[in-house]
Chain A
């Protein structure tokens, strides 16, 4: 189910439960139905079919401003950050982002080149790849 269909389904539920003279407790009903609907959706479909996410990883010495350096580039290119996570491995900094490039103003190649360029400027290693390999290797 894509986002639009999901929105329609949500509206239908709300209309069904909340007529003009909505009784008390109707909100709980709406929530319960919504939870049931969302739980029945497989993870990938919940995020929309067609969305081919990009996994972006930056590795290097920890220093201030790294996240900002990259989120600035992503904002300029209209790339949506779906998820972000970071960790320290033996004193080194590892930042991972899941990106949705579907609304981006540039192609995948240009996005990768921009992030690599910024990586060189701030002195960290940058890997940009479609999520396909992560999915193939880690999901059955």
Chain B
């Protein structure tokens, strides 16, 4: 037989019993040619280009998924950072573009479009300032738009002025979307070292170095890794890494296969596979559960950071052997509200924000989908973000913060977003003042390790 019985049954077990799916096929589209001094004309061009380029994607993804017998959970779009689409530098101009994007996405059935973004790691253009000012209204008056800001990089340092603006706009967005658990903040992420080819939301955007149109895939598969670890039993840690590598290899191969076939059907280039283990709130689809299967009583126990370091490294090694098109964030995501095991660990007080912060130094992104009390001070929020971004800047990795200062909520309560975004328990954040530090404003210069030429 061309394939052995075991190979066929194991592959079916991955897809049918272990929640394995391809998390997202994301079509990246450059919108730089949609610039126009008249915002209405720019918005019209954006709408028309999105409709023209993206319409065939869902059918192409469905046909490929049916051929191969694999589920693709999401079809998404990433677009050029909108602050780079030159138009009149006023918030109202960018809002017009935001609504055009949302309308196109809704008509074509895409749940999220990423790229309502500004790259301000080394300072602001007038367009950046106008876009930043429009973000709270954009996120509260649209449903499918995702927004991000790159506020620091290992080459340029940390733009603390941008971090303070982000803290302010998060509070405003939380207030404007207070009726739905401050959900606007779940569609916004602030980065250090943002990557240009990330297919995952909310931080996706189509970088300026990418081709006109490109197909990326983001794989998932914590369930597959978890079951492989359980089957391996009480092996030593080197063997455990080998087990995870093998599972990651298989997952990544499928991600690349789907991406290449969808790209082929659309006649556009294939970009990258993002190897991230991405959880969903569904049972058996949890990164927290993987960490517990490795031998922790609960996520948040001593040893959690070490276990996550091993997991992230093994996923990267297995994935890198499976494809030569690795990109995006690639590692393991730890979004609290989107992971059933992390939610309960946070609720029971085992997983503090400080422990999460430590974990982000070894995982692929950062403090993701954490909720804090709505009355948190702006400067405290800015300090919280600055800490996380500093970890990324000094360690030459991407870090990010997606935090929901849930309006009107206190520690111990929960905000529910439903669907993939899940339920976020409100966690305790230290309220000690850092205004004397972040209030100084300006830029934390780039670390000495930035001088590499």
Residues of A within 8 A of B (CB): 43, 47, 53, 55, 57, 59, 82-83, 85, 87, 89, 94, 96, 98, 108-109, 112, 127-138
Contact present for B1 and A129 (CB under 8 Å)? no
- How far does the alpha carbon of A25 sit from the alpha carbon of B11 in the complex, in Å? 48
- How far does the alpha carbon of A135 sit from the alpha carbon of B7 in the complex, in Å? 10
Given A131-B3, A133-B257, A136-B257 in contact, is the A57-B8 Cβ separation under 8 Å? yes
User: What is the 8 Å Cβ interface bit string for chain B, positions 163-196, against chain A (1 contact, 0 not)?
Assistant: 0000000000000000000000000000000000
Of the 9-residue stretches B61-69, B134-142, B299-307, which lies at the interface with chain A? Answer: B61-69
* Chain B residues whose CB sits within 8 angstroms of the CB of A85 once the complex forms: 1, 5
Contact present for B12 and A57 (CB under 8 Å)? yes
User: Which 4 residue pairs of A and B lie closest in terms of their CB atoms, listed nearest first?
Assistant: A129-B69, A136-B253, A138-B7, A136-B257
* Chain A residues whose CB sits within 8 angstroms of the CB of B453 once the complex forms: none
* Chain A residues whose CB sits within 8 angstroms of the CB of B11 once the complex forms: 133-134, 137-138
Nearest residue, chain A, Cβ from B258: A133
- How far does the alpha carbon of A135 sit from the alpha carbon of B70 in the complex, in Å? 14
Nearest residue, chain A, Cβ from B3: A134
- How far does the alpha carbon of A127 sit from the alpha carbon of B250 in the complex, in Å? 19
**How distant is A136 from chain B, measured CB to nearest CB, in Å?**
4
> Which residues 81-107 of B sit at the A interface, judged by CB distance below 8 A?
none
**How distant is A132 from chain B, measured CB to nearest CB, in Å?**
5
* Chain B residues whose CB sits within 8 angstroms of the CB of A133 once the complex forms: 11, 68-70, 254, 257
Q: B339: CB under 8 A from chain A? A: no
Given A94-B9, A108-B67 in contact, is the A136-B1 Cβ separation under 8 Å? no
Sample (22) of A-B pairs whose CB atoms are under 8 Å apart: A55-B3, A57-B12, A89-B9, A98-B3, A108-B67, A127-B12, A127-B16, A127-B69, A128-B69, A129-B68, A131-B2, A131-B3, A132-B68, A132-B257, A132-B261, A133-B68, A136-B256, A137-B7, A137-B14, A137-B253, A138-B7, A138-B11
Contact partner, B67, options A47, A98, A130, A134, Cβ 8 Å? A130
Given A132-B257, A133-B11, A136-B254 in contact, is the A82-B2 Cβ separation under 8 Å? yes
* Chain A residues whose CB sits within 8 angstroms of the CB of B3 once the complex forms: 55, 96, 98, 131, 134-135, 138
- How far does the alpha carbon of A62 sit from the alpha carbon of B50 in the complex, in Å? 52
Which of B1, B2, B11, B16 has the most chain A CB within a 10 Å cutoff?
B2
* Chain A residues whose CB sits within 8 angstroms of the CB of B66 once the complex forms: 109, 112
Given contacts A132-B257, A138-B7, 6 further A-B contacts (CB under 8 A): A87-B5, A94-B5, A131-B2, A133-B11, A134-B8, A134-B11
Given A108-B67, A128-B69, A131-B2 in contact, is the A137-B9 Cβ separation under 8 Å? no
Nearest residue, chain A, Cβ from B256: A136
* Chain A residues whose CB sits within 8 angstroms of the CB of B69 once the complex forms: 127-130, 133
**How distant is B224 from chain A, measured CB to nearest CB, in Å?**
11
User: What is the 8 Å Cβ interface bit string for chain B, positions 32-70, against chain A (1 contact, 0 not)?
Assistant: 000000000000000000000000000000000011111
* Chain A residues whose CB sits within 8 angstroms of the CB of B254 once the complex forms: 133, 136-137
* Chain B residues whose CB sits within 8 angstroms of the CB of A43 once the complex forms: 2
**How distant is A97 from chain B, measured CB to nearest CB, in Å?**
9
User: What is the 8 Å Cβ interface bit string for chain B, positions 1-30, against chain A (1 contact, 0 not)?
Assistant: 111010111011010100000000000000
**How distant is A36 from chain B, measured CB to nearest CB, in Å?**
23
Contact present for B9 and A53 (CB under 8 Å)? no
Which of A53, A85, A96, A131 has the most chain B CB within a 10 Å cutoff?
A96
Contact present for A98 and B9 (CB under 8 Å)? no
Contact present for A83 and B2 (CB under 8 Å)? yes
Contact present for A96 and B257 (CB under 8 Å)? no
Contact present for A132 and B67 (CB under 8 Å)? yes
* Chain B residues whose CB sits within 8 angstroms of the CB of A98 once the complex forms: 1-3
**How distant is A30 from chain B, measured CB to nearest CB, in Å?**
27
* Chain A residues whose CB sits within 8 angstroms of the CB of B5 once the complex forms: 85, 87, 94, 96
- How far does the alpha carbon of A105 sit from the alpha carbon of B80 in the complex, in Å? 46
**How distant is A93 from chain B, measured CB to nearest CB, in Å?**
12
Which of A96, A131, A132 has the most chain B CB within a 10 Å cutoff?
A132
- How far does the alpha carbon of A134 sit from the alpha carbon of B68 in the complex, in Å? 9
User: What is the 8 Å Cβ interface bit string for chain B, positions 112-143, against chain A (1 contact, 0 not)?
Assistant: 00000000000000000000000000000000
**How distant is A114 from chain B, measured CB to nearest CB, in Å?**
15
* Chain A residues whose CB sits within 8 angstroms of the CB of B9 once the complex forms: 57, 89, 94, 96
Contact present for A96 and B8 (CB under 8 Å)? yes
- How far does the alpha carbon of A75 sit from the alpha carbon of B118 in the complex, in Å? 60
* Chain B residues whose CB sits within 8 angstroms of the CB of A135 once the complex forms: 3
- How far does the alpha carbon of A130 sit from the alpha carbon of B261 in the complex, in Å? 12
**How distant is A33 from chain B, measured CB to nearest CB, in Å?**
26
Which of A55, A108, A134 has the most chain B CB within a 10 Å cutoff?
A134
* Chain B residues whose CB sits within 8 angstroms of the CB of A132 once the complex forms: 67-68, 257, 261
Which of B7, B66, B67, B70 has the most chain A CB within a 10 Å cutoff?
B67
Nearest residue, chain A, Cβ from B255: A136
Contact present for B8 and A137 (CB under 8 Å)? no
* Chain B residues whose CB sits within 8 angstroms of the CB of A47 once the complex forms: 2
**How distant is A115 from chain B, measured CB to nearest CB, in Å?**
12
* Chain A residues whose CB sits within 8 angstroms of the CB of B16 once the complex forms: 127
